[in-house]
Chain A
């Protein structure tokens, strides 16, 4: 128990003093996760829209597949992307392995299903009458879609927040595709794993505190937006 308490106290010290190495690690995590969330949103939200509005055979199957992909473990994705971008893989010559871009690619694949599925759910919650009303007012297909998007905006933002929470705390992809290179691809989670392996807990606990704080904040944000959805 002493171990935990002492490490905890030292860790708080690290956090408060904004230790340089810790800040650098947090910076990498934030940067990578922000970019991957943004990219995945640009693909996932329209994808969710297409699925929700589209009329095509196998729509229900697509939604089922999407929901299944939500459960993909990060190591599976990591392995999959690794096979492609390793030097022996198809995209080998692009020299992507062990870079931030590699992590971003893996994370984008991880959360596109998350964002798309949540978007589909958010849209399906939108009363069909909004669509009908827009139509009676003379809106074409695009304008109608925009109306639904606006009505579903809180649900969609909640989806993006959920996705960010997912990637900031994942380790499988960051480790396998990033390589945990100091100052370059060392994220909060991979750093924590390393520190634990080294047997030194202080930095790990400090990063853990920051990560928990971030996750908590993201959760609050998510519930805030979901709350706005209910009140509509």
Chain B
């Protein structure tokens, strides 16, 4: 385990930006950190990259608690590198940019040249070695920044939105580079993104943040709702005045309360529509999207609000939904989580 995060809290001014009770990151794996803008991805990345200190909580790196004194940090920074979303290269040649970190580590000249050539090869920028860094395009800059970080032979490679500000061609190159780094050099890779499919393609694990907190999966099926009692006295949750869902249990709700609700897509049941009237916690909607994902099938349904369900391949083959078709969804109370 390369990172272990416990009770991490980060506060900016009056805003709690991160609130993570527990997070473990395995070594030599690729992790994707997903979340909308402002969810806290970059902050978490900066904290793992030792660029920011937590307001409270503990970070363990390689089973040792991180000591935030300058000297200890400097030692750790030799193992952890971070490439930011808009990396900045020093105003000199590409070669000298890569040389900087190596010189600091007092690596001799011949070895430096070897390492730099190798790193540039890995990102496919070898012929730019003597070019002024300021003349590179966005994608080229990103690749050089990656090479610069790689040259330092880190254990952990952190990347903030590596493909967001880059053209499509370079996007694929960068994704390939990241995969190569992990496979060939056994480096732990952690990158942030707001692109689900990119996360799915590249990462073995996905961490999802929503407003500073870990959530089971990406920001779908998360709604704002009102918790209240229905006419029969049972607790219920009303989502956008369209869905009235009974949540079970015997809580007594004194007065209506606004909450955030997460509906577990794996627990929603989809069926062909029937003539029976809609039962409690049932709704109808039209299929708008079907995507194969990590061995499962994700179906997005427009039922007034967009709801996603996750079914196994086999189940899907049984039912055979199609885009544009109207289906019936059943949301059992245990699928509903108040967060």
Contact = CB atoms under 8 A, between A and B. Distances in A.
Contacts of B152: 137-138
B90 interface: yes
Nearest to A128: B88
B88 A129 contact: yes
A127 B104 contact: no
B88 A150 contact: no
Contact of A151 (B70, B74, B87, B91): B91
A137 B87 CA distance: 12
Interface in B75-93: 77-78, 81-82, 84, 86-88, 90-92
Contact of A138 (B49, B88, B104, B134): B104
Contacts of B84: 129, 132-133
Contacts of B92: 150
A73 to B, nearest CB: 38
Contact of A136 (B77, B90, B91, B105): B77
A73 B88 CA distance: 42
Nearest to A231: B134
Interface in A119-142: 127, 129-130, 132-141
A135 B134 contact: no
Interface string A62-93: 00000000000000000000000000000000
Contacts of B149: 136-137
Interface residues of A, number: 18
A48 to B, nearest CB: 20
Contacts of A137: 77, 81, 100-101, 104, 148-149, 152
A232 interface: yes
Interface in A4-32: none
Contacts of A232: 91, 134
Contacts of B105: 138
Contacts of A132: 51, 84
Given A132-B51, A143-B104, A138 B78 contact: yes
Given A129-B84, A147-B90, A151-B91, A136 B104 contact: no
26 contacts: A127-B88, A129-B84, A129-B86, A129-B88, A130-B88, A133-B87, A136-B51, A136-B77, A136-B82, A136-B149, A137-B81, A137-B101, A137-B104, A137-B148, A138-B78, A138-B101, A138-B104, A138-B105, A138-B152, A139-B100, A139-B104, A140-B74, A143-B104, A147-B100, A150-B90, A232-B134
Given A129-B88, A130-B88, 10 more contacts: A130-B90, A136-B81, A136-B82, A137-B77, A138-B101, A138-B152, A139-B101, A140-B74, A147-B90, A150-B91
Nearest 7 interchain pairs by C-beta: A137-B101, A129-B88, A138-B77, A136-B82, A138-B104, A138-B78, A133-B88
